[in-house]
Amino acid sequence: MEFSINHPIIFLIAGLLIAVVLAQSVYFLVKALRRSKQLGMDPKKIRKTITTAAIFTIAPAVAIVISIITLSKNLGLPLPWLRLSVVGSLSYETVAANNALNAMDQFLGSPIPLTAQQYLNVTIVMTVSIMMGIWLVPAIGKKLQNGMTKLGNRDAKWADTFQNSLFIGMIAAFLGYVFCDVSQLWTADKNGLIAKTAEEVVNGQQMDVTRYYPRTTGLVPVCVMAVSAITMILCGLLMRKPKLKWLSEYALPISLIVGMAAAIPITAALGQEVVR
């Protein structure tokens, strides 16, 4: 069969695999819903949980579609569709694809279409390199969970604090990350510019390209985070009114969307590329 990155048969195989992954999610959802009934949990709260999770997912899922569009230019549609429907991300798939292709004197963005062999190497590197979590959870997940349960049985209050510490630890790391480019305020050159060099494809050639941004670029994520946090606080205040209690379901999706929307004018004001 003649190879093409968008061959219908690759679509078919990718579609079947995605259907299996979808079936796993449906299976666990039904299982958890049944258990919630047995435990006598309030069906209204369960419905609320589903609605919130679904609404909250929309914006990040659209971002995943954008990643698929980006990758599809070189890898065709079915491979990025599969890879980003299962564990993976734009940055991971790009690194994996380029590691596989550079070993064969090819690169993502190359004007020369991929051969079947190059495509095969890319799929193997992408698939194998991200397998860790998929098999490690079956291998040690139960032990890790049992450790938490034992902790809970020994000292329930400390177990709750321990769990909250994990959550806070993760949130603190991401809040720190939001500030990672703030130092550009004092590390910029004498013209107040920051140079960022990255590999790009220009006229079919892979090369290092330097772009310049104002020193305030690092403040963009900080301002976006602040807008989102203020929106969350406002939602919290409004929720106290009995008529607006329904807002609690939408507080996180609303602060996410308002933050994302604010990123557009904030980037224009503080982080627009400077053409030299």
Partner 1 sequence: MKKNISYIDSVHRDGRIWNLSVMFLLLMFPVAIALIFRVAPDWGALLKGLIPTVAMYWTVGAIETVTFVPMLGAGGSYLSFVTGNISNLKLPCALNALEQNEVSANSEEGEVISTIAIATSSIVTTLIIVLGVVLIIPLTPILSAPALQPAFQQILPALFGGLGVAFVSKNWKIAIAPILLMLVLFIFVPALDSSMVGMMVPVSALFTIAIARIFYKKGVL
Stretch that binds partner 1, among 98-106, 189-197, 199-207, 208-216 (CB under 8 A): 98-106
| Location of structure tokens 């310049």 | 212
Stretch that binds partner 1, among 188-196, 197-205, 206-214, 220-228 (CB under 8 A): 220-228
Alpha-carbon distance of 80 to 29, in angstroms, equals 26
Alpha-carbon distance of 76 to 3, in angstroms, equals 12
Alpha-carbon distance of 160 to 164, in angstroms, equals 6
What part of residues 141-160 is at the interface with partner 1 (CB under 8 A)? 141-142, 144-145, 147-149, 151-152, 156-160
SS3 (DSSP) at 200 = strand
266 belongs to the binding site for partner 1 (CB under 8 A): yes
What part of residues 154-213 is at the interface with partner 1 (CB under 8 A)? 156-183
62 belongs to the binding site for partner 1 (CB under 8 A): yes
Stretch that binds partner 1, among 76-84, 195-203, 205-213 (CB under 8 A): 76-84
Q: How far is the CB of 214 from partner 1 (least distance, A)?
A: 14
Q: Which residues contact 113 (CB under 8 A, 6 or more apart)?
A: 5
Stretch that binds partner 1, among 52-60, 190-198, 204-212 (CB under 8 A): 52-60
45 belongs to the binding site for partner 1 (CB under 8 A): yes
261 belongs to the binding site for partner 1 (CB under 8 A): yes
Quickly list H helices, the chain.
Answer: 8-38, 43-75, 78-85, 90-102, 116-129, 132-154, 156-178, 184-187, 219-239, 247-270
Please identify, using beta-carbon distances, which residue of 116 and 202 lies nearer to partner 1.
Answer: 116
